[in-house]
Amino acid sequence: MHSPTPAKARISIIGAGPGGLTCARVLRQHGIAVTVYDRDPDADSRNQGGSLDLHEEDGQRALREAGLLEEFFTLARFESQEERRIDTAGRLRGHRLPAEGDTARPEIDRGQLRDLLLRSLDPGTVRWGRALESVGGTADGPRTLTFTDGSTVETDLVVGADGAFSRVRPAVSDAEPRYTGVGFLEARFDAVETAHPELSALVGRGSAHVADGERGLFAQRNSGGHMRVYLMRRVPLDWMAASGLRPQDTDGIRARLLAEYAGWSPRLLRMITENDGAYVDRPLFALPVPHTWEHTPGVTLLGDAAHLMPPLGVGVNLAMLDAAELALALAGSATVDDAVRTYEKTMLPRSAEVARMLEGGAGFLLEEPDADELARFGEPGSGPADGPLAAGRSGGDEGADGRAPVTSS
């Protein structure tokens, strides 16, 4: 196979989520042309989800390579690094307050991060309304992208940054995401300081986590006075239909939740009864562990397309690190194929190691903390400490075909 130089190659990224856009931005920083395809009609057609935290060692590192770290810091919410552990009686059991000047894991709304990345790209870099159907072609190249509208594009490299249910993944792997047995229901709260002041005080400026071993609750402040709450339960994938409920049946879903969470503090139950608007069902999926593939010329993956895991501390951060490393490999290699081999040599073992650590970890979100865990997390009112939420809040990197993200990253 003749592999072109990256400077002359046709490079196509599928998915305009944080991973795909980060890869595109770093490539443009090095003068390499790229086109991003996304199934959404436009940049504003869909809510991008809640808040996420970008870590110094991966997400922030990627933004530094993209030349966007300082602009990120102007948007980030450093105060939202505050984390609380609450028991089912509504009592504060663990508390992490960020130290002054702490920049380790500041929060940013997912939509704000996407807008930051989109603004950094030349107009026309992202082609909206292009839903990928399949990847064709042979190892000798070029690859052919077939879209659902019947159009096709030839490319020298296709990068699958299209999330959990990637349409690029079948070109390198037969693996499919599997339901973890844990589902989230997302509830939205608007104008939280004025319309829901008691909940605002309970959660604080960042996030709060409650669990009793069978069910859990994760509340997360967003910008603009918004808050999202994720009700976490072990349920069958079809639990809603099997119960005779529909997604818009807010009253019916609420009644079921109140029965399931019976015995919890009335203060906490207000996160079930006072939400603004409908619930959103977000089942958690994961790829088999480990998920690897034989090198396939002209195709590679990043983010959830490559290593979908339970939301326990990777997600967007790992996707953005993948993206930056792939772009830097392309900038520093003689051929596209050399660059992809260099990237996969690092990314695949790293993601396999993390996936093994997190395998089956969706259930961790439902576990009631023991005394040792609370001590590591920090006593109420204490300063910074490492704890389960400090490295345990992550949503996936969503792209063209990925499901909407869940918690933080």
- The answer to whether residue 89 sits within a structural domain is no
Whether 15 and 70 map to the same domain: the answer is yes
Whether 248 and 308 map to the same domain: the answer is no
- The answer to whether residue 389 sits within a structural domain is no
Whether 271 and 128 map to the same domain: the answer is no
Closest CA to 222 of 78, 51, 404, 389: 51
Whether 74 and 223 map to the same domain: the answer is no
How many domains, the chain? 2
| Residue-level pLDDT, tens digit, the chain, 409 residues | 589 999 999 999 999 999 999 999 999 999 999 999 999 999 998 888 889 999 999 999 999 999 999 999 999 999 999 999 999 999 999 999 999 899 999 999 999 999 999 999 999 999 999 999 999 999 888 999 999 999 999 999 999 999 999 999 999 999 999 999 999 999 999 999 999 999 999 999 999 999 999 999 999 999 999 999 999 999 999 999 999 999 999 999 999 999 999 999 999 999 999 999 999 999 999 999 999 999 999 999 999 999 999 887 678 999 999 999 999 999 999 999 999 999 999 999 999 999 998 887 788 889 887 777 666 665 554 443 333 333 333 344 544 433 433 333 3
Whether 206 and 107 map to the same domain: the answer is no
Whether 145 and 188 map to the same domain: the answer is no
Whether 270 and 141 map to the same domain: the answer is no
Whether 129 and 209 map to the same domain: the answer is no
- The answer to whether residue 121 sits within a structural domain is yes
- The answer to whether residue 266 sits within a structural domain is yes
Residue 395, pLDDT score: 44
Residue 166, pLDDT score: 98
- The answer to whether residue 153 sits within a structural domain is yes
Boundaries of domain holding 34 = 6-81+103-177+287-360
Residue where a domain terminates, one of 332, 360, 388? 360
Whether 113 and 59 map to the same domain: the answer is yes
Residue 408, pLDDT score: 36
- The answer to whether residue 230 sits within a structural domain is yes
- The answer to whether residue 143 sits within a structural domain is yes
Residue 213 sits in a domain whose CATH number is 3.30.9.30
Whether 216 and 351 map to the same domain: the answer is no
Residue 299 sits in a domain whose CATH number is 3.50.50.60
In the sheet where 299-301 sits, what is the strand order?
A: 126-127, 35-37, 11-14, 157-160, 299-301
- The answer to whether residue 49 sits within a structural domain is yes
Whether 43 and 184 map to the same domain: the answer is no
Closest CA to 336 of 295, 286, 390: 295
Whether 202 and 276 map to the same domain: the answer is yes
